[in-house]
Amino acid sequence: MRLAPTQTLRCGSITLEHLHSALSKALDVGHHGSRSQPRHLAVAVSGGIDSMVLAVLLGKLCMQERWRLTAITIDHGARAESAEDARWVEHELSTVHGISTIRRPLVWPGNLSPSDPHGFETRARRLRYQMLGRTCASIGAHHLLVGHHKDDRAESVLQRLIQGHGTVGLGRALKPFAAIPECESIYGVDASGEGVRFPTGHQPLQGTVSMFETGGVSVVRPLLGFTKAVLSKTARDLKIEHREDATNRDPTLTVRNAIRQLFRAENVPQALRSDALVSLSDSCGETATNLDAAAATLISQAAMGFNPQSGALTVTFPDFFYLDFHSEAEREEHLHRLVVMLQRIISVVSTDKPRFTRLKDVARQIFQRSPLAGLPSKAFHAAGAAFMPIATRPLAPAGIHAPLGAATMGQERVMTGLAWRITPKVTPKVLRRFELDPPNAASGHEQDFHLIDSRYWLRMWRERDLAEEVSRSSSVAAEEPPHDACHRLSVVVRYLTESDIASIQSRIDAKSRSVFRNMLKANAPGSVRFTLLVIAIPDDGISGNSEDCAVIALPTIGWKLDKAKLNPANSERDTLLYLKLQRLASELDWEVRYRSLHPDIVSALRTPNQRQ
């Protein structure tokens, strides 16, 4: 809604019309132009002039637009005055301005202290954003507005220059819309909370991966077009009270404070002044935007297959993706496009965020020479992922492909016949330990989702089927050991191993072995099976003997031990152990979803049998 000129607040200050326009543009960027209207906004308020001006103006705008607004203030406990400042913010916003306000104390881990200056900025930022993110998720607010302004953006650009960022990094300093930082693996905050079914006709099996996650909390910065001076004038004109944190002026405390002190100096070189740095970021941002668009085009031109059950991504690239199809002048620019494309592709299986220069090496390793040139491609690991070349059809002899530079982005794609299978880099360690309540406990279905190996959101619980209990009691041998269902059960999640496969097959009969092998072959052929997750009883879960550590389920492919039949050749000891494990497996239930996927990847997805 566009506000009438008579509704502006004061000439020279930020008006409701200004804020509405800036907020709409930021949301358009985040929602790819869909212009969805926010239902519930949250605003982070420290009490400083920036966040107080934003909160007060938002309060007026949300009342006008009939949006819901919640202010969140954090008592970080770093100063003696922190608690009093947080109480003041709560009172000022709720009582004076009529804005619903939540005050949260920051809980510092036992090994950290807010009074320790070493690494304070990094630790405090992480804890603060995690508290803000969890609070937003608890109240159903998907957008967290913060008071970063134009001068803050200049400081971020200079800090990134100091850290050695290139064009893309400088162009993405303080974006108007971004995923909330520091909240990785927090369900409902980290791009999660809403399940969406996979596209392209994926037919889920019961108990397997049928959805990927979306949602979460995003940070919105509507004040990036306004300077600190404009915010100060707005505060004076509207008589907005505020409190400044004295530690923000100490240049020895944080890098950001030192940069801020530099900007206050009168003899700052022109190239380091705020306007010049913002202009540099804008220019770099245009380059980054163009790279994003080019990467989206490249992804749409590749043939992509994805199996959510194994989490393996298979990609076949057209001939003209390869560097030897481009002139020397084009290669560096094309390499940059390939890097951005690879960032999105790798994000399907890994949350590692390697530097741009590292990904250039990965791009060269994949795209230096077309497979049609007759040079073999080799498997390698990089960026938390494993890359395996797979020949999908016989490759043409060397020398018959188009000459260098002949291919263009507008050409009809000709696939090389070489696919790359991309999976996570497997580690032997336990990925997560769960303590499960007894069957049918009140907390059963309320268990939280946990992010496992950067790919799967998993929650599990124990549940007893009384009908199955009666059936089992009439069919199970009298020697079945007693089962105590009143205690919590400890289970671990890790990757499948060769010894797991051998152990499972030794304990089940021939028909069950055939079913198990076929499930592995269909969902995770070859070495891909060793990226499958298993749920196992740890060493002390049954008898304390390490030999009794056993797999009872493979959650992403829907296999459970209780559905298999016992190998009649088992020893009495193995039979007793198997029956105990089978009972535990029968109580186990879970829900598993894949992590969020970039929109370009979702658009390009093909189910395995549709892959080109």
pLDDT tens profile 271-305: 888 899 999 999 999 999 999 999 999 999 998 88
Across the range 203-230, mean pLDDT stands at 87
Q: Is residue 409 part of a domain?
A: yes
Q: What confidence score (pLDDT) does residue 5 get?
A: 36
Per the structure, the complete domain to which residue 475 belongs is given by 432-594
User: Domain boundary residue among 425, 445, 477?
Assistant: 425
pLDDT tens sequence across 14-25: 999 999 999 999
b/e map 50-66, b = 16+ CB within 10 Å: bbbbbbbbbbbbbeebe
Name the token pair of 293: 């668009």
Evaluate if residue 430 carries a pLDDT over 60: yes
Average pLDDT over the chain reads 83
User: Domain boundary residue among 258, 276, 294?
Assistant: 276
Q: Which pTM does this prediction carry?
A: 0.86
509 in the same domain as 388: no
Beta carbons within 8 Å of 3's beta carbon, 6+ residues apart: 15, 16, 17, 20, 64
- Greater confidence (416 vs 140) lies with 140
Distances (CA, A) of 433 to 230, 504, 533: 52, 21, 13
CB 553 within 8 A of CB 494: no
CA 561 to chain centre: 32
Q: What are phi and psi of 94, to 5 degrees?
A: -75, -40
Q: Is residue 612 part of a domain?
A: no
Q: What confidence score (pLDDT) does residue 441 get?
A: 63
Q: Is residue 322 part of a domain?
A: yes
Percent of the chain surpassing pLDDT 90 = 54
Evaluate if residue 125 carries a pLDDT over 60: yes
**Confidence bin at 437 (pLDDT 50/70/90):** confident
235 in the same domain as 105: yes
Q: Out of 43-47, 207-211, 307-311, 500-504, pick the least confident.
A: 207-211
- Greater confidence (455 vs 417) lies with 455
Q: What confidence score (pLDDT) does residue 244 get?
A: 82
DSSP string, 505-533: HHHB-HHHHHHHHHHHHHHS-GGGGGGSE
414 in the same domain as 439: no
Q: Is residue 360 part of a domain?
A: yes
Evaluate if residue 515 carries a pLDDT over 80: yes
**Confidence bin at 235 (pLDDT 50/70/90):** very high
267 in the same domain as 135: yes
190 in the same domain as 100: yes
Q: What confidence score (pLDDT) does residue 80 get?
A: 79
Evaluate if residue 329 carries a pLDDT over 90: no
Across the range 526-549, mean pLDDT stands at 72
- Greater confidence (252 vs 89) lies with 89
Evaluate if residue 577 carries a pLDDT over 60: yes
Residue 471: how many CA atoms within 13 Å on its side-chain side? 7
536 in the same domain as 501: yes
Q: What confidence score (pLDDT) does residue 7 get?
A: 39
User: Domain boundary residue among 396, 425, 454?
Assistant: 425
**Confidence bin at 313 (pLDDT 50/70/90):** very high
Evaluate if residue 416 carries a pLDDT over 90: no
Q: Is residue 444 part of a domain?
A: yes
Percent of the chain surpassing pLDDT 70 = 81
Evaluate if residue 115 carries a pLDDT over 90: no
CB 314 within 8 A of CB 412: no
Q: What confidence score (pLDDT) does residue 373 get?
A: 67
Across the range 205-232, mean pLDDT stands at 90
* Highest averaged pLDDT of the listed ranges 143-152, 303-312, 440-449: 143-152
Q: What confidence score (pLDDT) does residue 12 get?
A: 76
266 in the same domain as 245: yes
Looking at the 3D structure of the chain, how many domains does it have?
Answer: 3
Q: Out of 267-271, 422-426, 460-464, 554-558, pick the least confident.
A: 267-271
- CATH number of domain containing 265: 3.40.50.620
Q: What is the largest CA-CA distance in the chain?
A: 89
DSSP for residue 566: B
pLDDT tens sequence across 377-411: 789 999 889 999 987 665 443 333 333 233 333 34
Across the range 335-358, mean pLDDT stands at 89
Q: What confidence score (pLDDT) does residue 542 get?
A: 45
Instruction: Kindly give the pairing relationship between strand 100-105 and strand 68-75.
Output: parallel
454 in the same domain as 356: no
Q: What confidence score (pLDDT) does residue 201 get?
A: 53
Q: Is residue 297 part of a domain?
A: no
Q: Is residue 290 part of a domain?
A: no
**Confidence bin at 513 (pLDDT 50/70/90):** very high
pLDDT tens sequence across 152-208: 999 999 999 988 888 888 999 999 999 999 999 999 999 999 998 887 554 445 568
Closest CA to 446 of 465, 461, 463: 461
461 in the same domain as 397: no
How far is 249 from 396, CA to CA, in rounded Å? 66
Q: Is residue 308 part of a domain?
A: yes
494 in the same domain as 558: yes
Helices 16-30 & 49-65 angle (0-180, nearest 10)? 90
270 in the same domain as 306: no
Evaluate if residue 472 carries a pLDDT over 80: no
265 in the same domain as 191: yes
CA 23 to chain centre: 24
Evaluate if residue 37 carries a pLDDT over 80: no
* Highest averaged pLDDT of the listed ranges 97-106, 248-257, 259-268, 443-452: 97-106
